Amino acid sequence: MVALYKSSLFSIVFAVLIATVLAEIRSTQIRSDSRPTIPFDEFGFTHFGRLNLTVTDISFSNPNSGPEPVPSELGFFLVTNEAWQHVLEQLQDGEIQCTLHSNLVKRVFTFDQLQPSARQFTTSFTVSDANQFTLVFANCMPNLVISMNVHSVMYNFNPKNGQLDFLSAGKTALPMIYFLFFIVYVLMGVFWVLTLYKKRLSVYGIHFFMLAVVMLKALNLVCEAEDKSYIKKTGTAHGWDVLFYIFSFLKGITLFTLIVLIGTGWSFLKPYLQDKEKNVLMIVIPLQVVANLAQVVIDETGPFSENSYTWKQVFLLVDIVCCCAVLFPIVWSIKNLREAAKTDGKAAVNLMKLTLFRQYYVIVICYIYFTRVVVYALETITSYRYQWTSVVAAEAATLAFYVFTGYNFRPKAHNPYFAIDDEEEEAASEALKLEDEFEL
């Protein structure tokens, strides 16, 4: 297990180091690419936006010995998502032959502006229309293959204080949001430590594991706050992204492990794990390594790189498998508690435990659904100015899940919880006979 953690950390750090760690300042290498449109990055501009573009080592080739490149048919432009749909319609209807000819795009630079025999250029473009734009390269010469290095810098200028903001308009509030959630988790960690001290006679190993999960989440948030803060001010993360990825990896591993351990009832119901429960952990942990590696590649290579779609599919598939896998131990515990309720004569205690685990099963499903589906939908339908709302929603849901888990599985002075009289025991026995009521 230790060797697995070490190799996982090395893989993630190595991926970060070899990637283009430039955040909103992005460098991209294009090699022998013949695509008619090559998207690079998207950014939410205010009325005082700016794009600085530097392209070097430009070279063309035509493997089919076709006509010479027409410089006016090659170039960079900015376009919104809404306008892009209309541009595609113009191409389909034959109104235009090249995306650069559309009046719906903002032409940044066309290659007919290049000096003769020049292989590089630098240009600046002012964006006065507040909207989210995507930087795109258009190649309207069929079969023409192009190679180049593209360095783009997008930012917004604040006329009030003269500062530059390298975060997209809808993400500029993220540093403060992450820092506020960091404070909340620190306070939660302090409260949990005090709880463990007061209830130290009834503390199990799982409770210390919960503390570790909370602290790793807090460290992940403070690193993300610093990461976004430096990007906001300078356009680069200054190494905070490496720490963020490390703690994000550890947080993801420990959270899924915690759900599995709680689902099995480890340490507070039984002091051991069965083989099938160990197998779930051995599936979840490597998959989380793959998921975090995929997330690093997606973040660092940009949303439109050639392999980005593949890595997104890998991340989605692995995440779904992990989310499904952690539900099995909870189902097994519910089944075991139901069977035990019929044989050990402790109906009230088993009913209480059974109800708790059923509630936890439902909450885990709700948490997974909200953070994987609802948050994505919110991010999709929300205006670019309010992209921060999806982050707040995801973090609020995660915080609520942590609070629910900590409250319901907190150390208890009585085990079982309270003394049960005969009437309560009889009522619990009758309730347990209603099998359909406890079906998943």
pLDDT number for residue 339: 74
CATH number of the domain enclosing 335: 1.20.1070.10
Residue 117 has φ and ψ, to the nearest 5°, of 60, 10
- Report the mean per-residue pLDDT for the chain: 82
The mean per-residue pLDDT over the stretch 71-80 comes to 92
Identify the residue with better confidence: 154 or 335.
154
Asked whether residue 52 falls in the same domain as residue 36, the answer is yes
Q: Looking at the 3D structure of the chain, how many domains does it have?
A: 2
* pLDDT tens-place string over residues 162-175: 889 999 999 999 99
The mean per-residue pLDDT over the stretch 14-29 comes to 54
pLDDT number for residue 175: 96
The mean per-residue pLDDT over the stretch 292-310 comes to 73
The residue out of 165, 184, 206 marking a domain boundary is 165
The C-alpha torsion from 269 through 271 and 272 to 278, rounded to 10°, is: 60
- Structural domain contains residue 7: no
DSSP-derived 3-state class of residue 223: helix
Asked whether residue 413 falls in the same domain as residue 295, the answer is yes
- Structural domain contains residue 56: yes
- In the chain, the percentage of residues whose pLDDT exceeds 90 is 42
The residue out of 135, 165, 195 marking a domain boundary is 165
d(CA 197, CA 199): 6
pLDDT number for residue 320: 87
* pLDDT tens-place string over residues 180-206: 999 999 999 999 999 999 998 888 899
Q: Which residues pair with 49 in a beta bridge?
A: 127, 156
Triad 273, 211, 216: Cα angle to 5°: 105
The residue out of 165, 192, 224 marking a domain boundary is 165
pLDDT number for residue 3: 41
**pLDDT over 50 at 8, yes or no:** no
CATH number of the domain enclosing 132: 2.60.120
CA atoms within 13 A on the CB side of 320: 7
**pLDDT over 60 at 424, yes or no:** no
**pLDDT over 50 at 143, yes or no:** yes
Asked whether residue 158 falls in the same domain as residue 177, the answer is no
Structural domain harbouring 285: 173-438
Give me the helices (H) in 237-387, please: 240-264, 275-301, 308-325, 327-341, 347-369, 375-381
